[in-house]
Amino acid sequence: MYPGTRSNPIVIEGRTQATTSLLGKVLLISSLGFLVTGVGVFLAPSFYSSGLLLICFIASFALIFGVRAARKNPPLALGLFLMLAFVMGIEIAPWIVSLLHMGAVGISIVFNAAVTTAVGMACIGIGAQVVSFDYRRVANYAFAALLVLVLVGILGMFFHFVNPTIYSWASLAIFSVLLLVDFMRIKNGGDGATATELAVSIYLDGLNIFLALTTIFSGGRGRR
C-alpha cells in the first residue's frame, strides 16, 4: 500500500473534527447574538429620534470593527459582539414593534419570518457541506452586489424610487449567497477568521434575511 494512503484518512478525520468544532462554536455564538437582539428589541426605548438611530448605526459599525480588532482576546471579542447584537436590537425595534402592533397579522409576520429564516439558514448550512465551488470569487461578486444595493437604498431614501418588495427580494438573494459563502468558509476552516468573527458574519446574514422576509411577508410596507 502507498505510504500516504494510510495517513490521509487521519488527516481528513482531524480536519472534519476541527471543522465540526468550529461550526458548533459559530452557531452557539450567533444564536446567543440573536437572543440578545431579541432582548434589545424588548428593552428598546418607546421614543425614537433620527439622532438615536444614527448613534446606533455608527455604533454597530464600530463594534463590527472592534470584534476584528479584538480577535486575539476572545472574551473581549465576544463581549463586543453581544453589544453589537443588543445595539442592532434597538436599531430594528421600531420596525418589529410596528409589526407587532398590527395584532395577530403582525405577530404572524414576525413569527413566519423567524421560522423561515431559521429553516433557510439550516438548509443553506447543510448545502454548504455538500456543494463545492470557488466561494471566494462568488463572495467578491456578492459583496459588490451588496454595495450596489446599499447605494440604491441610500438614494431611494432621498428620491423614493425604490420598491420595498423588489429591494427586499434582492436583499434576500444577496444575503443568502453571503450566508452560503460564510458556511463554506467554516467548512474550509474559517480562512483564518476566529469563531466570533465568523459568528458576526453569520449573524448579520441571518438578521438581514429575517428583515427582508418581514418586508416581503408584510406586503412591501417597508421598514421605518
pLDDT in tens, 34-88: 999 999 999 988 777 777 888 988 999 999 999 999 999 999 999 999 999 999 9
Lowest mean pLDDT of 13-17, 40-44, 90-94, 148-152, name the range. 13-17
Count of Cβ atoms closer than 10 Å to residue 65 Cβ? 10
Q: Could you tell me if residue 161 is inside a domain?
A: yes
Per-residue pLDDT band at 25 (split at 50, 70, 90): very high
The residue ranking higher by pLDDT, 70 or 224, is 70
Amino acid making up residue 186: I
Q: Could you tell me if residue 110 is inside a domain?
A: yes
Q: Could you tell me if residue 224 is inside a domain?
A: no
- State how far the Cα of 11 lies from the Cα of 55, in Å rounded to an integer: 48
Q: Could you tell me if residue 93 is inside a domain?
A: yes
What is the chain's mean pLDDT, rounded? 88
Task: Please check the confidence at residue 5 and state whether its pLDDT lies above 70.
Answer: no
Count of Cβ atoms closer than 10 Å to residue 139 Cβ? 18
Count of Cβ atoms closer than 10 Å to residue 67 Cβ? 21
Domain housing 64: 3-217
Contacts of 92 (CB under 8 A, 6+ apart): 37, 41, 207, 211, 223
**What total of structural domains would you count in the chain?**
1
Give per-residue pLDDT as tens, 129-149: 888 889 999 999 999 999 999
pTM of the model: 0.88
Q: Could you tell me if residue 55 is inside a domain?
A: yes
Q: Could you tell me if residue 44 is inside a domain?
A: yes
Q: Could you tell me if residue 208 is inside a domain?
A: yes
Torsion of CA 165, 166, 172, 178, to 10 degrees: -150
Cell readout for 42 is 424588548
* Cα Dmax for the chain: 73
Place of cell 423567524: 114
pLDDT at residue 3, as a whole number: 41
CA angle 62, 64, 67 (to 5 degrees): 110
- Least Cα distance to 85 among 118, 130, 43, 46 occurs for 43
Q: Could you tell me if residue 223 is inside a domain?
A: no
pLDDT at residue 159, as a whole number: 78
Cα 221 to Cα 116, 167, 194, distances in angstroms: 19, 12, 38
